[in-house]
């Protein structure tokens, strides 16, 4: 599968769902829900925890199962949270700032590997709240800036050039 679109979802769970437990527990639980639907396992490609941790679900190379009629060439990302929400809500109504940063990083990361041309939310394809905000209002492709933390290598180079500039 060659992904060209990313579709955002939410788990529609309460903010405190599986609080204090490893994110792998949530991924396993979602996996069991999707198996119960007769699917081969978790339908999303990524899950973003409340604390900003991200775990893969279904491999990017495999077609997901997350939007009826739109699983071909799309990657599904699920944000934990969104219980009782609607399509008119905002990201901040349901999700944490750690999730916002993690999602932005993930979007950048996916775009380094795939030619993604569309970013959307489940609610534009179905009469559902999911992911309980308007994706087009809050996130965009290509224009995402993630603060760069200098790597150790860059720091060493900077230190050495400082040393030499004093000589
Ligand atoms: Zn959804």
Q: In angstroms, what is the span from residue 143 Cα to ligand 1's centroid? A: 24
Q: In angstroms, what is the span from residue 144 Cα to ligand 1's centroid? A: 22
* Residues designated catalytic: 9, 44, 122, 128, 130
Residue 153 pLDDT: 73
Query: Model pTM?
Result: 0.85
What is the bridge-based pairing of β-strands 118-121 and 46-48? unpaired
Q: What is the pLDDT of residues 82-135, one digit of tens each?
A: 999 999 999 999 999 999 999 999 999 999 999 999 999 999 999 999 999 999
Provide the CATH number for the domain around residue 103. Answer: 3.40.80.10
pLDDT at 166 over 70: no
Q: What is the pLDDT of residues 8-39, one digit of tens each?
A: 999 999 999 999 999 999 999 999 999 999 99
Q: What is the pLDDT of residues 46-64, one digit of tens each?
A: 999 999 999 999 999 999 9
For residue 27, how far is the Cα from the chain centroid?
13
**Residue 56 DSSP SS3:** strand
Q: CA 10 to CA 79: how far, in whole Å?
A: 5
pLDDT at 146 over 50: no
Q: In angstroms, what is the span from residue 140 Cα to ligand 1's centroid? A: 18
pLDDT at 72 over 50: yes
Residue 32 pLDDT: 98
Write out the residue range of the structural domain in which residue 76 sits: 5-166
Question: Which has the higher per-residue pLDDT, 82 or 149?
Answer: 82
Q: CA 44 to CA 81: how far, in whole Å?
A: 15
Count of domains forming the chain: 1
> Of all residues in the chain, what percent carry a pLDDT higher than 90?
84
Q: Give the start-end residues of each E strand in the chain.
A: 5-10, 46-48, 54-56, 74-79, 118-121
Residue 160 pLDDT: 79
């Amino acid at each position: 599968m060659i992904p060209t679109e990313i579709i955002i979802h939410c788990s529609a769970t309460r903010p405190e769902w599986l609080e204090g437990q490893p994110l792998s527990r949530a991924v396993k639980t979602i996996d069991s829900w999707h198996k119960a639907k007769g699917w081969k396992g978790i339908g999303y490609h990524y899950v973003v925890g409340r604390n900003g941790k991200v775990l893969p679900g279904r491999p990017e190379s495999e077609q997901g199962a997350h939007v009826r009629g739109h699983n071909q060439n799309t990657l599904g990302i699920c944000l934990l949270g969104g219980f009782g929400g609607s399509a008119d809500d905002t990201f901040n109504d349901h999700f944490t700032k750690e999730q916002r940063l993690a999602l932005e990083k993930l979007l950048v990361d996916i775009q380094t590997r795939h030619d993604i041309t569309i970013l959307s939310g489940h609610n534009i394809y179905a009469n559902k709240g999911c992911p309980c905000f308007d994706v087009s209002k809050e996130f965009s492709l290509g224009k995402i800036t993630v603060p760069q933390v200098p790597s150790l290598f860059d720091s060493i180079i900077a230190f050495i050039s400082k040393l030499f500039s004093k000589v």
